[in-house]
Amino acid sequence: MTSQNIVQFDGPTILKAENVAVYYGDKQVLRDVMLSVPTHKITALIGPSGSGKSTLLRCFNRMNDLIRGARVEGQVTYHDQDLYDPEVDPVEVRRRIGMVFQKPNPFPKSIYENITWGARINGYRGTMDELVERSLRRAALWDEVKDRLHENALSLSGGQQQRLCIARAIAIEPEVILMDEPASALDPIATLKIEELMHELKENYTILIVTHNMQQAARVSDYTAMMMLTEDRNSATVIEFGKTQAIFTHPRDRRTEDYITGRIG
Amino acid sequence: MSLRDAAFESMLQRRQLRGMIFEAIAFLAILIGLLTLALLFYDIITSGVERLSWDFLTSFPSRRASRAGILSALAGSVFLVSLMSIFAFPIGIGAAIYLEEYAPRGWLTDLIQVNIANLAGVPSIIYGLLGLGIFARLAEPITGGRTLLAGALTMALLVMPVVIIAAREAIRSVPSEIRLAALGLGATRWQMIRGHVLPYALPGILTGTILAISRALGETAPLITLGALTYVPFVPDGLRSQFTVLPIQIFNWVTRPQEAFHTNAAAAIIVLLAILLSMNALAIYLRYRFEKRLMK
């Protein structure tokens, strides 16, 4: 069952998965997942393709609800509140736990409207101009777009679009930002900018990031969770969790070591 | 190794030849289509253009061909189609939104979807019979019988499947990333639809509705079944007024033995064609406008 390689993090945690299992129809894709996400840190989910990293990520803001036939079992909590309590509206969850997707997906509207839309639907009371500037500054995009706020967001480069998506997410003041391979569609320079941005963001936000890129996990994250298919290859789980430095230098699980050193995966 | 290879080249020539033959066939196909259309236009315009005049547009039908005009038919067509739009578009687009965004997937939804596609293929005269039975007879206390209202309701039924199908296609073409982005920001389903899905799908929906209007403008059979009159010397003055439409007026004139009425029919066809083509042009223009606004 639960691996002995899961270090229970003893600092403040914001999100917790306990014995989480996810099914897509009849097929079980995740089992026995235990994970604590430390507050105001960057936690990376790494592992080979098909090891359920994105699936686990989407458990934390109930995006799996949108996939037909998906079912989540076990307990997922945010500040010790059950995210899957029948009383909890997923809309409320997603307001607290924002998301940045793999492919930059700005709305086909102006840069300005991309920021204000989420705030407006969530009943933001305040000056929109200020919100737009503050969000874009935090996403390190302000200087590049301040003179073209009313241009269509699709006219930005891929890296700018992704930072706009981050700005859009933080404009509704979430506590956690989930990032699903946010830099995989970007070139190395744009990737670097996103990584620098993540470092700044962890002052105010907790970040959980899925990444395929081992160097990226090593560079940006404070904690790392290693995911892997189980022995029978039917479903996946978290096999090791700990400080990123420890995982990358002294992995306790043989499979983690093989994966990190490039022997499998 | 040499680049050129005789055996390969002779085969390659055959491969290229096949491509050219297919291109020629395809070209012939478009040529036949265009030529037929050109011939049709030429025939209609040469036989009807002399009759076109302001008087022709503003006169009521008459027993004397030289004094007859299409005012009542033109007004009837415009009123009918406008009234039809009021019924058909909100219901059609609403149904499309429900089917695409809310309906649970299952055999029932599939059945409904297949049947909407089937309804689009039902001969229009069947709708005429349905309209006659329901709107003109059963609902006579409301519609007043064979009136503009009954005609518009019948036409609304006729074009509804087309509207639903076009709107569904348009809604389905909205990228899922945009939906996820909206929901990920804590939008409710309706906020996502209102804020992103509908604006994105609007050009497609609009094209569908305008094509539906074009179809309704040209339909004759259901209105004849319903009992739209062929001789209407007045402009409809209300929902429960009797009426005629352009295709019926044209049909009426074509069946007369006198040559002069045939000229009238040709002139009326030019008017009908002009309206149809401008509607289609409008559809294309609106689509272009909205798409540009969306992307730039």
Question: Exposure string (b/e) for A178-210, b if CB count within 10 Å is 16 or more?
Answer: bbbbbbebbeeebbebbbebbeebbeebbbbbb
CB–CB contact A94 B185 (8 Å) = yes
CB-closest option in A68, A155, A168 to B185:
A168
CB–CB contact A94 B178 (8 Å) = no
CB–CB contact A98 B184 (8 Å) = yes
Write down the domain spans for chain A: 3-105+173-260
Residues B139 and B81 in one domain: yes
- In chain B, residues with a C-beta closer than 8 Å to the C-beta of A168 are 181, 185
Nearest to B99 by CA among B161, B154, B158, B159: B161
- In chain B, residues with a C-beta closer than 8 Å to the C-beta of A63 are 180, 183-184
Name the residue in chain B with its Cα closest to that of A116. Answer: B185
The alpha carbon of residue B163 is apart from the nearest alpha carbon of chain A, in Å, by: 25
Strand, helix or coil at A253?
coil
Domain that holds residue B37: 3-51
Residues B209 and B290 in one domain: yes
CB–CB contact A95 B186 (8 Å) = yes
Residues B154 and B284 in one domain: yes
Residues B207 and B275 in one domain: yes
Residues B47 and B75 in one domain: no
CB-closest option in B177, B186, B296 to A105:
B177
Determine the pLDDT at residue B45: 92
pLDDT beneath 70, residues of chain B: 295-296
Determine the pLDDT at residue B207: 87
CB–CB contact A103 B177 (8 Å) = yes
B293: part of which helix (H) or strand (E)? helix B259-295
Nearest to B151 by CA among B205, B209, B232: B232
CB–CB contact A92 B178 (8 Å) = no
Domain boundary among B51, B68, B83: B51
Rounded distance, CA B117 to CA B105, Å? 17
Q: Is the dihedral of CA A104, A106, A108, A110 positive or negative?
A: negative
CA distances from A187 to A159, A183, A194, A216 (A): 8, 8, 11, 13
Strand, helix or coil at B256?
coil
CB–CB contact B186 A92 (8 Å) = yes
Residues B155 and B32 in one domain: no
Residues B109 and B226 in one domain: yes
CA dihedral B143, B147, B148, B152 (to 10 degrees): 60
Residues B46 and B193 in one domain: no
Q: What is the largest CA-CA distance in chain A?
A: 56
Residues B161 and B142 in one domain: yes
Residues B68 and B173 in one domain: yes
CB–CB contact A118 B296 (8 Å) = no
Sequential pLDDT tens for chain A (265 residues):
445 566 666 788 999 999 999 999 999 999 999 999 999 999 999 999 889 999 999 999 999 999 888 999 999 999 999 999 999 999 999 999 999 999 999 999 999 999 999 999 999 988 999 999 999 999 999 999 999 999 999 999 999 999 999 999 999 999 999 999 999 888 999 899 999 999 999 999 999 999 988 999 999 999 999 999 988 878 999 999 999 999 999 999 999 999 988 876 5
- In chain B, residues with a C-beta closer than 8 Å to the C-beta of A91 are 186-188
Structural contact between residues B184 and A98, judged by C-beta atoms closer than 8 angstroms: yes
The tally of domains found in chain B comes to 2
Instruction: Dump pLDDT digits (tens) for B212-253.
Output: 999 999 998 899 888 887 778 888 888 888 889 999 999 999
Instruction: Dump pLDDT digits (tens) for B126-154.
Output: 999 999 999 999 998 988 888 999 999 99
Check which CATH number belongs to the domain holding B129 and give it. Answer: 1.10.3720.10
CATH superfamily name and code, A3-105+173-260: P-loop containing nucleotide triphosphate hydrolases (3.40.50.300)
Q: Which of B101, B110, B185, B196 to probe the A interface (max A CBs under 10 A)?
A: B185
Determine the pLDDT at residue B95: 96
Q: Which of A58, A65, A94, A107 to probe the B interface (max B CBs under 10 A)?
A: A107
CA distances from A93 to A54, A210, B21, B255 (A): 17, 19, 61, 70
Its ipTM equals 0.90
The alpha carbon of residue A64 is apart from the nearest alpha carbon of chain B, in Å, by: 11
